[in-house]
Structure 1
Amino acid sequence: EITSPNDFAQLEQTLSTVGFFDQKKVVILHEADKLKQPQIKKVFNYLDKPNPDVTLVLVALNKNNTLFEQAKKSRYFYEYKSPKKDHLSQWVIDFFKKEGKATNFEVASYLVDLIGDNLNTLSNEIKKIALYAGEKEKVEADDVFAVCSSQTHETIFDLVDALGQKNLSMSLWHLNNLFYTEKEEKIFYMIIRQFRLLLKTKGYEPKGMGLAQIAKAIKLPPFIAAKYQKQAKHFSTLKLIQAHSVLMETEITNKTTPTPLKTALELAIVKILSSEEQYVS
């Protein structure tokens, strides 16, 4: 396994080595998209007359280069796409099945919300959850929560609680605590998601929906939906709409101005607390 094109000389040597006693070997070159043009030429020269004892695997994230333009024209190119977000839950269910466990779409979606869409991280967490579940045949939300619930998600709830209590200093304190543990982009996404779910939860209450129905509607386990239901009581519907609007403006600012996202998030917190009920930006 060769981790970088910087070790191209090692790659050439390995490819030219004959296996002993009919042994076959697989050579994996990572970051193949960073190969330079002379190296790419050597790779394709090799592929014209490959070593029969070697299977060469070139791994890359970026397919917009000469190597892959040429590879597409041959039988050597295979593209492996990550599942789209709306397909991830099914991917999680299938992976649990490989680990000998059953689960449902609601629990799988909850895991994706907690962990994100990195397949390597998800697979590692699924293995840990399967071990934690022991002899249980079906993985429940409680199992996921016990293994994967992070302090980050609790701090998001604390932050939004502080906003609901109109406590600016505590809101900024929780926000800055998050900056120590998570990337700004992830924090921003989680805050937007929190208000979006609160707005949905608030909207279902006048319809007379109970906790089980709300949980199903927002695709979260009931015990998590209960936390959103409780937190939503701190806000009027209009205030939640205002907060969501402020966050959307912040997203535009982040994409169109040089303002650092950290600063933009702090300003968003101030704006959410200072906005008046009768005004929706």
Structure 2
Amino acid sequence: MSIEIFKEHLSGNKFDSLYLFYGPEEFLKKKYLDNMVDLSIEKGTEALNKIVFKGEIDTGKLIEACRTMPFFSERKMVIVKNSGFFKNKSGNYEDLISFFSVIPSHTILVFVEDEIDARLKITKAIKEKGLMVELEYQKADELAKWVMKGFKTFNKEIDYKTASLLVEYCEPGMTGIYNEIEKITAYMGEEKKVQARHIEDVVTKSIKAIIFDLLDAIFEKKSEKAMVLFRDMLNLREPVPRILVMVAWQLRMVLELKACQQKGIPLPKAAARLKIAPFVLKKLTRQIENYDIDTLKKAMEDCHKLDLGIKTGQIDPQTGMEMLILKYAAS
């Protein structure tokens, strides 16, 4: 895998001349860029030998920056952030593509993008001439282990179960999770052992986490709890149409997993086929047994009807969502 090859480059301090980092995990992009700068550029010369381009970029100026010799350092880095080169189907980057074959040995050129189109000529050129490193959100078990290490740097201890709870509360991005680690550490004071109560006291659940709780309450016929959770999301200024979309997505996942289960397909295999993360599967598994397929299909149909009613102005969003919740959460 490309990430493993890149880690070998880091550990050996032997870098290629061309890289493309892409994907949603901003924390890892920053971490690996910082690692490369620390290893590649002579200390104290970063201001001279780290050149960063953002936004609209003149390819001629970019090429010239790469050709310029480093100052008081054997190597320099040229970092290009969110250029749009790798999504622009009409872009003409022939000069840059040709340059990929003749990048000077003293230059490390790194493109950093959120999304790319693998079909584009420029993307294929980097795949051929350099190294593409995909930085996706990490799996829940990996995040939990990383959380344990994170607390250790603050001289705090946390077990795997409690670390997993923090991961469940948060969005998947590592930057946000690390911010919560810092907040919890400050809140704990002199205490050494992180407990579930610390997380519950400090961390605001992500909307996705609340959606799981909402569906749990509906499936368990706890209408009062379900209504409280829905209104909590409204208090967080979450638009009803977005809440409805997330509820419909979760219902669809439960429905598809239940259908696979009835066909004799093991749930982990079904989840992999549906690209459902392991920690999400763990939550959905609790919900699979509560409704039969016909009821789930009817709930999905009601979600679509409500969505249409909201869009056409025939149904008040909040009232419609409350009626939907009560219909399926009623004892």
Q: State how 1:218-233 maps to structure 2 within 5 Å.
A: none
**Aligned position for 1:3:** 54
1:24 aligns with 75
Change (3 A) 1:277 1:118: closer
Tell me the residue number matched to 1:62.
115
Q: Residue 177 of structure 1 aligns to which amino acid in structure 2?
A: N
Question: Which sections of structure 2, spanning at least 5 residues, go unmatched?
Answer: 1-51, 251-278, 280-289
- The 1:181/1:166 distance shift into structure 2, 3 A limit, reads closer
**1:121-132 equivalence runs, <5 A:** 121-132=176-187
CA–CA separation in structure 2 for the residues paired with 1:58 and 1:167: 45
Give the residue type in structure 2 aligned to 1:15: C
Identity fraction in percent: 19
- The structure where strand makes up a greater share of residues is 2
TM-score norm. by structure 2 comes to 0.51
Is the Cα contact below 8 Å between 1:172 and 1:266 reproduced in 2? no
Quick check: 2:248–2:303 contact (8 Å CA) kept in 1? Answer: no
Residues 107, 34 of structure 1: alpha-carbon distance in 2 compared, 3 angstrom cutoff: same
Q: 2:77 aligned with 1:45, yes or no?
A: no
RMSD: 4.8
The structure that is helix-richer by fraction is 1
Residues 75-94 of structure 1 mapped to structure 2, 5 A cutoff: 75-85=130-140, 87-94=142-149
Alignment of 1:198-213 (within 5 A): none
Count of matched residue pairs:
227
User: 1:182-239 CA deviation, whole Å, 9 max, x = no partner?
Assistant: 685468648998xxxxxxxxxxxxxxxxxxxxxxxxx9xxxxxxxxxxxxxxxxxxxx
Contact 1:250–1:264 (Cα < 8 Å) also in 2 = no
Tell me the equivalent position of 1:102. 157
| CA 47–127 in structure 1, closer or farther in 2 if over 3 Å, else same | farther
- SS at 2:109 equivalent: strand
Q: Distance in 1 between matches of 2:201 and 2:330?
A: 38
Structure-2 change in CA distance of 1:154 and 1:58 (3 Å) = closer
Please list, as runs of the form range in 1=range in 2, the aligned pairs for 1:142-161 lying within 5 A after superposition.
142-149=197-204
What SS class does the counterpart of residue 73 from structure 1 fall into? Answer: helix
Give a deviation string over 1:15-36, Cα, whole Å, max 9, x none: 2332223363322112242456
Question: TM (normalized to structure 1)?
Answer: 0.58
Aligned equivalents of 1:49, 1:42: Cα separation in 2: 11
Cα distance in 1 for partners of 2:67, 2:206 equals: 51
In 2, are the aligned partners of 1:246 and 1:272 still within 8 Å (CA)?
A: no
Alpha carbons 1:246, 1:271 under 8 Å: kept: no
Query: How many Å separate the matches in 1 of 2:240 and 2:174?
Result: 18
Describe the shift of the 1:8–1:44 C-alpha distance in structure 2 as closer, same or farther (beyond 3 A).
closer
Q: Distance in 1 between matches of 2:317 and 2:166?
A: 29
**Aligned position for 1:164:** 223
Indicate if the aligned counterparts of 2:211 and 2:246 stay in contact, CA closer than 8 A.
no
SS at match of 2:99: helix
Q: Map of 1:163-202 to 2, 5 A cutoff?
A: 164-165=223-224, 176-178=234-236, 180-181=237-238, 185=242, 189=246
Q: Which amino acid aligns with 2:107?
A: V
User: Offset of 1:140 from its aligned partner?
Assistant: 2.0
C-alpha deviation, 1:102, in angstroms: 2.8
Question: Residue type matched to 2:223 in 1?
Answer: G
Find the aligned partners of 1:167 and 1:60 in 2 and give their Cα distance. 39
Greater relative contact order, per chain length (Cα 8 Å cut-off, separation 6+)? 2
The range that moved more, 181-190 or 97-106, is 181-190
